[in-house]
Structures are given as structure tokens and as C-alpha cells.
Structure 1
């Protein structure tokens, strides 16, 4: 996630931005950390980009619509683990608030009033009466079974925008590590997703992160998060599970009291609803078709129209293979490809990387290409069925030569 601070710190983090980042990133992975230039290039151009990173969907490092982990390039409004995080609202304000501003004390009091009986400590928050329109409250709650961090963030997202889908749909389990997820439409037309996951996707610490995200028809977004520790990070686990059940989380996010808080915020910019990622599905189809003979595709998925993956098996164990197809990347060629990059006769740049994944037992092999027309094709393979699960084999199912053939295939040009 973005800034890894818990409720006990003197300088409060922004849990709403953090939760939005988590939600957006809960649908993808990232790429190798040594290629941070991608993020820098994207920021310089002011458009959404996918970063590279070593794990997929991390509780402490996500990227655009995805963030950046084990080995996936993601596309979201920002990322975590030292990379820019996404803004809490989509677009710029186009409408005036419909309710009076609320103070931090009011937001905190509302949260306290909606909790079951228990002890509350370390409460802090922010209202909508300051320069930032991202009210939140966070505190430590103890129902007698152990102290637990709990937070709520409020904002708006653009109705019909990509953020709504990513906040309300259950993530792909190949890309995100979680135990359970439900997404339900409420009687008033809003949608609530409840996700039971972990602060760290690789489970290196047993800190659980359970969350509920509600998005209303007019773009109101309420994000509630709870942990089974007194802080989201760097605090010992105090109880087996967070204090609120899935139903209680859902009801807390759907509480009418939050509508007054959101009503004090400006509306997000209206956007035209995007199609259901046909580009991503086409990319997944091409990637599957390019698998070498003798390699079976056991699963596939896509995201954002630029990213897709398959799980490939050559009979010796599952291997996660991902591809990012990014247009218009010529202006960051210098940041992505150093002096050691190969230049083909047609001007295509090629860089190859072999290194570890985020887990100690994972291996990540990558072929990165940039064509003269600015189209970047990056293909990576792992020696595991995902970027967050244990290795299934010593090396990926595809060789570097096979990855290179996939990245340089002319079939990508047919995508337009």
C-alpha cells in the first residue's frame, strides 16, 4: 500500500487514499523494482502507467489499477511501496457540495457511534472543512477480544468510470491473495464489496485485512478497513480475526450517516463508461495462442485493456506468464532501455532480465521490447502459478528464447 503507517503514529496517514489504492491494486500485480523508470516516465507524461514490480497485489506495494509487485505491470491512478499512490477521487470537481462541511471530530464521532460495544483509543481523523476533500477516521477498537485497527475513508468516484468496477468487483484470485469476497447490490442501488484478505499477500506476517467498499449510483465511496492487530503494519497480531464480521463491515459501510459526510464533498468528474475491457480479453487470447507446443494453458485473465496473464503448464508444474501491451511509450525509451539494450534491424529495442521474485523461492524472467511505433510489449514468466504463491518448479515453464519470441510476435500488431 502507499504509506505504511498505522493509527498509533503522530503523523496520520491517509487511510482513504491508502484503501482506494489497495482496492484499485487488488486487481493486479506489478513488475521488477529495478525498472522504476516506467513510473517516472508515466508521471512525467501525466498519464496512467503500469509500474514494474516483483510481487502481485501486495499488502504493501501496489501500482496502477494494480500496483507493482512480483512481476506485473499495472495500470491504476497510482501505486504503493514508494511509488505514487492514486488520488482518492476520479477527475476534478464539477459540482458543488450539497451539505455543509464536516469536521474531523464529527467523522470520528460518527464512526464511534456505529461500532458495537467496546473500548476505543487513538482516534484521529480529518473532516471536509479543510483544503483536502478526503475525510477519514481511524482508531483502535477493542471488543474485549484484542485491540484492532479500524478506519473509514470517504470520497467520490466518477459514476461509470473504471474505478467503480475495480472497487466493487471481486479480484482475480490469481492476481490477488484473499480468503473470501462478496459483491452485493443494495436496495438503494449502491454496491458493496466485502473482501477478506491479508495485509501482506505473501502471508509473511499473519496480519489480516478485511475491507468493505461501497459505491453509490451517484459516485459516493465509503471504504472501511479493519485488521487483527492494533496497527495495519509493524504491530503484533492480537486476535485470530478482525473484530467485525463480513455482515457488520457491510452494514458499517452502508450506514446512512456517511451520506451526509460524502454530501459535503464536490462531485467527481463525469466520465463515459468504458467497455468491459475487450482489449484485455484479446490480449489474453493472443498470449494463450502464442504458448509453445507442449504447454497447456490452465487459466487466463486480463485487466485494464493492457494487461493479461495465463497460467501455463508443460507437465512439470504451473508457471504464471504475464504480458503488458502499452502504446505510446517512445518518449520514455531512454528511461526503460539502457545502453545494454539490443536494437534490432527494424529499430525495436529489446532488454532481457532474469532475477528473483518477491518471495525467496520465486524466479522472474522478463523480455521487454519497444517497437518503433512506440508500442511496448513486456512478457514475464515465473516459476509459480502466481506471483504470491510458492514455487512449483525451479525455473519458469518458458525459456528466455520463448519469451522473446512471444514479445516480438507480429500478432501483437493486429490488436491495433
Structure 2
């Protein structure tokens, strides 16, 4: 079991710790959130040490964030160590009520208050919404998906740079994601190589086909990476599975390389 307590109070990023994650990226058995009488937000997530569940090691996490931003987190496993140790019991030792009692103990709040504020945290400036680019990326991606593919799931970073959709043609779900990044011209030579394509307008384009990034057997990932003359990079990838962590639903992704290319080069980005 590992317990962490962080501060300082009113740390805004701490509030992100009490929402259930997107199952497209974090597979889990159950997740529950609760608002406690003192206004604290509590979340318990019952998941696994490895997203692909290649071993039976379970990881349960409880997070509590107080109204002033204090963050207390507990993680527990059903094994003597978090990675590659034999499973010793069907479930981790503490139940959801016990995890709640542990993280909400008042003693942790006094400890958090005693932690000095990090200079890096003080220096960090919020992102100016006017500097965010990419527009409603998830809506753009959904609109560019081919007819005949039903969008059954979608999400992203709030509409600025990253989005994904899960599509289904009636024979199985498959995952498609896009990243839209401005100002990438300085790293063009790191991203592209002499053998890659350069279009008439100066856009550089590369195609990659290989196994998925999460190491799940049978899952493949096809990617079209583009960099426009103004420095805007659009990268779209398609998988032959409903998530990067789940089993393949067929041999090929939902979109062909040519279809991915057409979406990546769309002027709508």
C-alpha cells in the first residue's frame, strides 16, 4: 500500500484527481465518486496494475481532495508488490469504506498544510485560453469520419489539441485518435526523414504502420503524420481495437491509410 499527501492548499490540478477516468484509456472494473459532508471530493477506482490485464494484479486507488485543495491518495494491490509479484488474495485488503475512512482522516490535512509550496508551482502560469489552438477537435474528427462508421464513443482534452472517437460498422468497435499541434516547425527534421513525402504546398507527410503502442497481441496502429508550412502538425492514428488496451476486433483498423491521409490533410484543422 502507498499513501501520498500533497499540497499546497488550493492546488487546482488536485481537483482533477476525483473524476473517473475515460475507459478508452484506463480500463477498470468500477469507479465511484462522492461529495462528502465537509465538501471534500472522494473517488475510488478499482482497476488493474496493467491495463491489458496480462496478470491478475489489481490496483485500487482512492483520492480525496478537500475544498481548500489538499490531496490525499492511497493505492493498494492484491499482491505483496505492485509489479510482477504473485497475487496473494482475490482483492486488495481494504474495502471502499475503509479506503474512504483512511484518506479522509484529519491527520493527513495537517501534514499537507506543513508541506512547503514548490517554487515551480508558484512560477507556473495558467494557459491563456486565447493561445489554445485546434478548435473543437473532437467535433472536427467526428465530422470527418467516413459515412457508414457510427461514432459510438468520443472524448479528448476539452477541444484544444487531442481527440478520439470509437467507431463501429456493425462488426466491431475500433479506435481513432488525432493530435493537432501548432508551432512544430522547429522539430520538423526530427519528425520527418528524407524518404518521406513533401506535397506541392510544402506539407510534409509520413506514414507509419506497426503494432499498437500498448503491446497488446494482434493490435495494430496505422498513422499518418503531417506538418504544414505554418508549423501545424496533424497526426491521426487508427487501431483495429476499441481501445489501445483491448483485444483486436479484426485484422485492420477502421480507416485505410488513404482515408487517414485525407482526414489529416483536411483544411478543417
**TM-score with structure 1 setting the length:** 0.59
Deviation at 1:400, TM superposition (A): 0.4
> Contact 2:133–2:182 (CA<8 Å) still a contact in 1?
no
Deviation at 1:314, TM superposition (A): 2.5
Partner of 1:341: 196
> Contact 1:182–1:194 (CA<8 Å) still a contact in 2?
yes
CA distances 1:44-86 after superposition (whole Å, capped 9, x unpaired)? xxxxxxxxxxxxxxxxxxxxxxxxxxxxxxxxxxxxxxxxxxx
> Contact 1:158–1:164 (CA<8 Å) still a contact in 2?
no
CA distances 1:220-264 after superposition (whole Å, capped 9, x unpaired)? 111110000000002000000000011211221111111121111
Q: Which runs of 4+ in 1 moved over 6 A?
A: 278-281
In structure 2, stretches of 5+ residues that fail to align are none
Q: Secondary structure at the match of 1:340?
A: coil
Partner of 1:296: 150
In structure 1, stretches of 5+ residues that fail to align are 1-149
**Alpha-carbon distance change, 158 to 364 in structure 1, aligned in 2, over 3 angstroms:** farther
Partner of 1:175: 25
The correspondence for 1:402, drawn from 238, 245, 259, is 259
Deviation at 1:172, TM superposition (A): 1.1
> Contact 1:229–1:235 (CA<8 Å) still a contact in 2?
yes
The correspondence for 1:363, drawn from 215, 220, 243, is 220
Q: Secondary structure at the match of 1:309?
A: strand
Q: Are residues 1:307 and 2:162 paired? A: yes
Partner of 1:6: none
Q: Distance in 1 between matches of 2:103 and 2:137?
A: 36
Q: Secondary structure at the match of 2:136?
A: helix
Deviation at 1:272, TM superposition (A): 5.4
> Contact 1:330–1:374 (CA<8 Å) still a contact in 2?
yes
RMSD: 2.2
Written as runs of structure 1 = structure 2, the 5 A alignment for 1:56-205 is: 150-156=1-7, 159=10, 161=12, 163-205=13-55
> Contact 2:174–2:243 (CA<8 Å) still a contact in 1?
yes
Q: Distance in 1 between matches of 2:257 and 2:114?
A: 54
Partner of 2:208: 353
**Alpha-carbon distance change, 279 to 375 in structure 1, aligned in 2, over 3 angstroms:** closer
Number of matched pairs? 260
Deviation at 1:411, TM superposition (A): 0.5
Partner of 2:183: 328
Deviation at 1:367, TM superposition (A): 0.6
Partner of 1:382: 239
Deviation at 1:165, TM superposition (A): 4.3
**TM-score with structure 2 setting the length:** 0.89
> Contact 2:217–2:247 (CA<8 Å) still a contact in 1?
no
